[in-house]
Amino acid sequence: MLKSFSYICYMKKRTIFLLGVIMAISFFGLIILQANYLKLTADMRAEQFNESVKKSLYEVVRILEEEETLQYLNKNLSVPSQRTRITVKPGIHNHAYSMKQNSLEDSINVSYSCTRVQPKVFISMKHGSNTIQESSRILQNKLRERYIQERALLDDILIRLLSESYVRPIEERIDFQQLNEILDRELDFNGLNLPHYFSVINKNGKELYRSKGFETVESDEEKEEYYTQILFPNDPNPQPNYIRVYFPTKQNYILSSITLTLPSVLFTSLLLFTFILTIVIISRQKRLSEMRTDFMNNMTHELKTPVSSISLASQMLNDKSISKTPAMIEQLSGVIRSETKRLTQQIDKVLQMSIFEKESTALKMEEMDINEMILNISSNFAIKVENTGGKIELDLDAEDCFALVDEIHFTNIVYNLMDNALKYSRGPLNLHLKTWNEKNNLLISIQDNGIGMKKSDQKRIFDKFYRVSTGNVHNVKGFGLGLAYVKKVVTDHKGTIRVESELNVGTKFIISIPLKK
C-alpha cells in the first residue's frame, strides 16, 4: 500500500513537472513570436519612414530645378518684340557664354526668328493626283526638317542660357525660406508631419545654411540619423551641394506604430504571471498535502501509544483473574495517570494549530525581565540536560532586559527550542543561552551541539507539519508544529527569528524582540 501511495505521489510530481515544462515552452514561444512581430513592425515602419523622406527630398530637388529653370528663362527671354536676336561669342570656357538681346551692332552668329517662315513650294497640276501626293510628301519632309533644325537650335540656346546659372553660388540659386516651405509641404504630403531641421552643406561638409534649432544636434548618434540629398543633381558643376534633414522625434514616430500591440504584451504578461502563480500555488498545496499526510501519520502514532497503555492498564484492573495488590494497583494507576498526562499534552499540541488560522494571536502583554525568565526556564530544564551528561551555559549580558511579552507563550517558545535541542542531540547535550542588546532590540540565542541540519532544511523548518530528517535518530517524535508555533509567536511579538546551523556540528536560533518603549 505504501508503494502504491509513493507511486501516486511520484505521478503527481511528474504531472506537475510536465505541465510546467509545456506551459513554459508555450509562453517562451509566444514571447519570441511577439518579440519578432514587434521588431518586424518597427523595421517596416522605419523602412516606410526612410522611403517617404527620400521621396520627399527627391521631389524638393526636382521642384527647385524647375523653379530655377522657369525663373531664369523668364528673365532672359521676356522681350516686347516678336524677333529676338541672341549673340553668342564662342571661345568662353567652362560653358560660360555672353548673351545679348536686340543687338545689331555686334556680329551675329545665330539668328532665330520667333515667327515661323513657311517654305515656298510650287505644286504642278500636270501629272494629276500622283504629283499632288508627291508634293505633299515633299512639303511634310521640309516641315519636319525645319522643325528638327529649330528644335536643335532652341535646345542649344536653352543649354547655353542655363549654363550661366551653374556657376552661381548656391546662396543665389536658392531662396532658403522657399526651400523650407517646399520641404514642409512635401513631407506633409507624404504623411511626415514631424518636427524637423535641415541644413545646406557643400561636398566638404561645410554648412552654408541651417534652420533654427539645428544647432542642438551635436551627438554622433543623432548625426547618423541625417537624410542627405544632392541639390541640382543634373548640374555639370563639379562642386555639388547637399540638403541634410534631421528628425528629432523619429524614434517616437517609429515606436508609436507598435502601441497597438501593447495590450497583447500586457495580456501575455498577465497570463505569464498567472501561470507562475498557479505553479507556485500547486507546489505549495502539494507540499502542504504531503505535510498533512505526515502529520496524520505522526499524530496517529503519538496518540495511539498512550491510548494503548491506558487501555492495557484498565484491562488489567478489570481482569478478575489477576490478583490486585496495592503495589500493582498503584503501578497501574500511575501508568494511567502518566499516559493520560502525555495524551493531554499531545492534544494540547494539536489544539495549537488553531493559532495558525488567525492573523494575530490574542496575547496578554506584560513587562517581563527576560534574563530572569530564561534563568528560571534553564533551572527547570537542567535536570533533563544533566541526565544526558551535558550542561547549560548562560551568558545573560543584556543590560536592558525588560520587554513586553506574553509570559505563557514566550516561555513556551524558549522551552520548545531547548526541547528540540534535547531531541536532536547525540550524547551529552551542551546548551548555550545568551542575551544581549542591539540598538532598540533584545536578542536571545539558544545554541546546541546536536546533529545540525542541511541548508535545504533551514529554509523550511518554520513551515507547518515540516519535520527535519533525523537520519539514524529514530526516537524523535512530534507533529512538526513546534517551530511553526515559535515563528508565529515571535512574529506576533513584532520580532524576528533566524537559524544558523551546520550539519553534525550544531544549531543556533536567534530571537530578536523590540524593547519596551
How many CB atoms are closer than 10 A to CB 95? 14
Higher pLDDT, 110 or 419: 419
- Residue 469 has a pLDDT of 61
Band of the pLDDT at 433, cuts 50, 70, 90? very high
Write down the mean pLDDT value for the chain: 76
Q: Fill in the DSSP letter of residue 342.
A: H
Which whole number is the average pLDDT over 294-305?
Answer: 70
Report the pLDDT averaged over residues 397-413: 88
- Is 9 within a domain? no
pLDDT of residue 95: 34
- What digits encode the pLDDT tens for the residues 164-188? 666 778 888 888 888 999 999 999 9
Of the residues 133, 159, 185, the one at which a domain ends: 159
Which of these three, 127, 159, 191, is where a domain ends? 159
Give the model confidence (pLDDT) of 310-338 as tens digits: 888 888 878 777 777 888 888 888 878 87
The total domain count for the chain is 2
> What distance separates the 2 farthest-apart alpha carbons in the chain?
177
Q: Domain for residue 508, yes or no?
A: yes
pLDDT at 373: 92
Give the pLDDT confidence of 181-236 residue by residue, as tens digits.
Answer: 999 999 999 988 888 889 998 888 888 888 887 765 555 556 667 898 988 887 76
Integer Cα distance of 462 and 282 in angstroms: 20
Confidence at residue 99, expressed as pLDDT on a 0 to 100 scale:
36
Q: What percent of the chain has pLDDT over 90?
A: 15
Confidence of residue 116 (pLDDT cuts 50, 70, 90): very low
pLDDT (0 to 100) of residue 94:
34
Phi and psi at 227, nearest 5°, equal -115, 120
Angle of CA points 313, 318, 320, to nearest 5° = 125
Residues with Cβ within 8 Å of 337's Cβ and at least 6 positions away in sequence, in order, are none
Contact call for residues 270 and 27 (beta carbons, < 8 A): no
**pLDDT higher for 397 or 237?**
397
**Number of Cβ within a 10 Å radius of residue 493:** 23
Q: Let me know if residue 382 belongs to a domain.
A: yes
Amino acid 164: pLDDT: 62
- 8 A C-beta contact, residue 499 and residue 483: no
pLDDT greater at residue 437 or residue 313:
437
Q: Using the 3D structure, point to which of 159, 187, 202 is the last residue of a domain.
A: 159
Report d(CA 236, CA 163) in Å as an integer: 9
How deeply is 229 buried, as exposed, middle or buried, from its count of CB atoms within 10 A (0-12, 13-18, 19+)? middle
Burial string for 390-407 (b: 16+ CB within 10 Å, else e) reads bebeeebebeebebbbbe
In percent, the amount of the chain with pLDDT more than 70 equals 72
Residue 154 has pLDDT above 50, yes or no: yes
Q: Is residue 108 part of a domain?
A: yes
Could you tell me the residue range of the domain that residue 487 belongs to? 363-514
40 found inside a domain: no
pLDDT bracket for residue 514 (50, 70, 90)? very high
pTM over 0.75: no
Q: Is residue 31 part of a domain?
A: no
Least confident of 56-65, 124-133, 330-339, 371-380: 124-133
Rounded CA-CA distance 365/372 in Å is: 17
Query: Is position 299 within any domain?
Result: no
- For residue 239, the 8-state DSSP code is S
pLDDT in tens, 120-137: 444 445 455 567 788 888
How does DSSP classify residue 124?
-
Is residue 478 within 8 Å of 468, Cβ to Cβ?
no
Residue 311 lies in a domain: no
CA atoms within 13 A on the CB side of 2: 2
CATH number at residue 438: 3.30.565.10
